[in-house]
């Protein structure tokens, strides 16, 4: 977000009421358009949809002290307000300086953003206004057309009966000599049909939306960080409580970090949150991250040279000869496991430029070529010099752990986990969101078993032990 100096309005901000656009040439100025009933209704809907955000000052600006201050202790992007230590999927993000004209281009989804209470109040007010408007027409034409509505409450009752078809009757069904009143009745009846269709559609969409379906998909309360072999992993688990499973379910993970930028030309620093995707080992994200949640599924992210959990210095420390680690910071993320199973080359020779799957193959190449250069007595022997300078492989696991612990203590980090799938009954897309901050990550632990075989009949999942952890052996 761009920051504007105090008292200076940005060029993209709309003019306040009473101000005159003196900066724009007269030939380029657009004529002012008066607000229609649609604009007024949409403005009210926008205000109700977003609470107090749309009622803010268009010239809203963030103070420099607030923009550069680190997040408070305990701050998290994703909430933890649902029962059983789950998340409702609400992001703690406040949006300001939004242009209402863009929301008016999509009125349906704008209305869908209303809360259930506000949605019911909106339709209730809309029905009542329609009753009142048509009642005025009936009351004004009652004596001339023989409707028999001597008072406004009687005309209002006739309007309700016409619109809701709950009973109907007038002294003269042909309205004497007022055929235009039939058009009014038809208009009110068709208006009622349109209202009913929209109301039923919106309410059905609200009831069957995927956010309520997501409430029965559980994520573990804690994420664990443990070392297996020579590698460190971040793991959490998820499971479905319903018997009916989601179709085509797959996982994605992102790392949200708070960064303080370097001083700019004015000497000021601006903080920002950075969102970085994370590669998954299990389920394999190169295959789409597909998962079957009929049993508790453990999601695994390997903290390797390409993991965003480590900074650029730690990446260089972990694998200085890795080809991708020497590239630009915004290069596509890779996985070290791809090099270990032969999917791609992960190390390169700085002497001749050839690439190899790993450091072992690179070391053999350098040793063999250095022997050939010594045997031939070549004056220039780059491989021999490289061998004398030493070939560093992966850093020690203690160095990686110390780098990660230091980064977790000095930087706000939050791993946002997203599970997406399709509900088999309603065919609606479902997205489940959960997050883990540094306080939610536990070192050197494992998830306690919660699946048991009872006799020869069935497998039992004990959700009372779903969040339990046990120390690693």
- Chain segment 147-160, per-residue pLDDT in tens: 878 888 888 888 88
| 281-339 residue pLDDT tens | 999 998 999 999 989 999 999 988 788 888 654 444 444 444 444 555 566 777 878 87
130 and 191 housed in the same domain:
yes
- Total domains present in the chain: 2
446 and 301 housed in the same domain:
yes
Beta bridge partners of 282: 300
157 and 277 housed in the same domain:
no
Query: For 122, phi and psi rounded to 5 degrees?
Result: -65, -45
Question: Of 160, 189, 208, which closes a domain?
Answer: 208
Contacts of 350 (CB under 8 A, 6+ apart): 321, 386
Q: Does residue 84 lie in a domain region?
A: yes
Highest mean pLDDT among 352-361, 385-394, 461-470: 461-470
Query: For 275, phi and psi rounded to 5 degrees?
Result: -110, 120
Contacts of 43 (CB under 8 A, 6+ apart): 35, 100
pLDDT of residue 377: 76
428 and 288 housed in the same domain:
yes
Q: Does residue 160 lie in a domain region?
A: yes
Parallel/antiparallel/unpaired status of strands 223-228 and 231-240: antiparallel
Query: Helix (H, G, I), strand (E, B), or coil: what is residue 273?
Result: strand
Exposure string over 186-221, b if 16+ CB within 10 A, otherwise e: eebeebbeeeeeebeebeeebeebbeebbeebbbbb
pLDDT of residue 252: 94
pLDDT at 14 exceeding the cut of 70: no
pLDDT of residue 176: 62
pLDDT of residue 13: 40
pLDDT at 374 exceeding the cut of 50: yes
User: For residue 159, what are the domain limits?
Assistant: 116-208
pLDDT of residue 442: 93
121 and 253 housed in the same domain:
no
pLDDT over 90, % of the chain: 17
Parallel/antiparallel/unpaired status of strands 441-443 and 223-228: parallel
> Are 60 and 96 in contact, with CB atoms under 8 Å apart?
yes
Mean pLDDT of 420-438: 89
Question: Of 191, 208, 225, which closes a domain?
Answer: 208
Greater pLDDT, 417 or 92: 417
**Confidence label for 5 from pLDDT (cuts 50, 70 and 90):** very low
162 and 288 housed in the same domain:
no
Q: Does residue 189 lie in a domain region?
A: yes
Greater pLDDT, 88 or 270: 88
Mean pLDDT of 67-95: 73
Question: Of 148, 175, 208, which closes a domain?
Answer: 208
Nearest-5° angle of CA 293, CA 297, CA 300? 135
> Are 417 and 221 in contact, with CB atoms under 8 Å apart?
no
| 329-371 residue pLDDT tens | 566 777 878 877 777 777 778 778 788 777 778 888 888 888 8
Q: Does residue 444 lie in a domain region?
A: yes
Residue for token digits 């977000």? 1
201 and 223 housed in the same domain:
no
Exposure string over 328-344, b if 16+ CB within 10 A, otherwise e: eeeeeebbbbbbeeeee
CA distances to 94, 318, 338, 397 from 360, in Å? 50, 15, 15, 18
pLDDT at 220 exceeding the cut of 80: yes
CA 428, CA 50: separation in Å to the nearest integer? 24
pLDDT at 446 exceeding the cut of 90: yes
231 and 291 housed in the same domain:
yes
| 235-294 residue pLDDT tens | 999 998 888 888 999 999 999 988 666 555 566 665 677 888 999 999 999 899 999 998
pLDDT of residue 57: 46
pLDDT of residue 43: 59
**In CATH, what number is assigned to the domain containing residue 193?**
1.10.287.70
Pick left, alpha or beta for residue 272 (phi over 0 → left; psi -120 to 50 → alpha; otherwise beta): beta
**Confidence label for 397 from pLDDT (cuts 50, 70 and 90):** low
**In CATH, what number is assigned to the domain containing residue 304?**
2.60.40.1400
CA 343, CA 229: separation in Å to the nearest integer? 21
CA 142, CA 139: separation in Å to the nearest integer? 5
pLDDT at 1 exceeding the cut of 90: no
Q: Does residue 378 lie in a domain region?
A: no
**Confidence label for 115 from pLDDT (cuts 50, 70 and 90):** confident
Give this prediction's pTM.
0.65
CA 255, CA 234: separation in Å to the nearest integer? 12
Looking at the chain, the number of H-run helices and the number of E-run strands are: 14, 15
CA-nearest of 306, 321, 324, 395 to 363 is: 321
**Confidence label for 44 from pLDDT (cuts 50, 70 and 90):** low
pLDDT at 34 exceeding the cut of 70: no
Residue for token digits 């000599």? 177
Q: Does residue 190 lie in a domain region?
A: yes
pLDDT at 447 exceeding the cut of 60: yes
Count CB atoms within 10 A of the CB of residue 27.
5
3-state secondary structure 235-250: EEEEEECCCCCCEEEE
Mean pLDDT of 216-235: 91
- Alpha carbon of residue 258 to chain centroid: 17
| 159-216 residue pLDDT tens | 888 888 766 666 666 566 677 777 887 888 888 888 888 888 888 877 777 777 888 8
Q: Does residue 384 lie in a domain region?
A: no
Q: At what angle do helices 180-207 and 152-164 cross, to 10 degrees?
A: 60
Q: Does residue 2 lie in a domain region?
A: no
227 and 85 housed in the same domain:
yes
> Are 88 and 81 in contact, with CB atoms under 8 Å apart?
yes
pLDDT of residue 41: 56
142 and 281 housed in the same domain:
no
CA 103, CA 109: separation in Å to the nearest integer? 9
CA-nearest of 410, 401, 64 to 259 is: 410
306 and 416 housed in the same domain:
yes
pLDDT at 26 exceeding the cut of 50: no
């Amino acid at each position: 977000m761009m920051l504007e100096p105090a008292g200076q309005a940005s060029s993209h901000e709309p003019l306040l009421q009473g101000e005159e656009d003196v900066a724009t040439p007269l030939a380029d100025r657009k004529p002012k358009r008066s607000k229609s009933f649609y604009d007024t209704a949409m403005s009210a809907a926008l205000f109700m949809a977003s609470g107090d955000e749309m009622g803010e000052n268009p010239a809203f600006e963030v103070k420099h002290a607030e923009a550069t201050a680190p997040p408070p202790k305990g701050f998290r992007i994703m909430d933890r307000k649902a029962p059983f230590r789950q998340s409702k999927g609400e992001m703690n993000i406040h949006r300001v300086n939004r242009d209402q004209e863009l929301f008016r281009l999509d009125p349906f989804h704008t209305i869908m953003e209303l809360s259930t209470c506000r949605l019911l109040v909106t339709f209730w007010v809309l029905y009542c206004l329609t009753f009142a408007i048509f009642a005025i027409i009936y009351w004004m034409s009652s004596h001339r057309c023989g409707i028999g509505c001597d008072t406004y409450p009687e005309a209002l009752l006739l309007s309700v009966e016409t619109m809701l078809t709950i009973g109907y009757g007038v002294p003269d069904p042909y309205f004497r000599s007022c055929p235009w009143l039939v058009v009014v009745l038809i208009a009110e009846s068709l208006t009622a049909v349109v209202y009913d269709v929209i109301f039923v559609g919106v309410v059905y969409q609200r009831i069957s939306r995927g956010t309520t379906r997501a409430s029965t998909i559980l994520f573990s309360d804690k994420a664990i960080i443990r070392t297996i072999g020579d590698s460190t992993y971040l793991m959490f688990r998820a499971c479905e409580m319903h018997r009916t499973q989601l179709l085509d379910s797959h996982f994605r993970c992102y790392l949200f970090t708070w960064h303080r930028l370097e001083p700019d030309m004015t000497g000021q620093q601006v903080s920002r949150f950075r969102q970085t995707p994370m590669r998954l080992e299990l389920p394999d994200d190169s295959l789409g991250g597909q998962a079957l949640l009929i049993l508790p599924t453990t999601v695994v992210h390997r903290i390797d040279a390409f993991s965003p959990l480590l900074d650029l210095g730690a990446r260089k420390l972990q694998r200085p000869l890795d080809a991708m680690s020497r590239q630009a910071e915004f290069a596509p993320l890779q996985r070290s496991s791809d090099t270990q199973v032969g999917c791609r080359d992960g190390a390169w020779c700085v002497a001749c430029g050839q690439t190899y799957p790993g450091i072992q193959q690179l070391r053999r190449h350098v040793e063999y070529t250095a022997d050939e250069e010594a045997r031939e007595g070549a004056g220039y022997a780059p491989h021999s010099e490289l061998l004398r300078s030493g070939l560093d492989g992966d850093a020690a696991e203690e160095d990686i752990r110390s780098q990660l612990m230091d980064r977790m203590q000095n930087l706000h980090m939050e791993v946002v986990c997203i599970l997406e799938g399709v509900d088999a009954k309603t065919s609606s897309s479902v997205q489940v969101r959960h997050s883990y901050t540094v306080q939610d990550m536990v070192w050197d632990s494992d998830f306690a078993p919660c699946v048991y075989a009872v006799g020869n009949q069935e497998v039992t999942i004990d959700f009372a032990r779903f969040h339990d952890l046990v120390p690693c052996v």
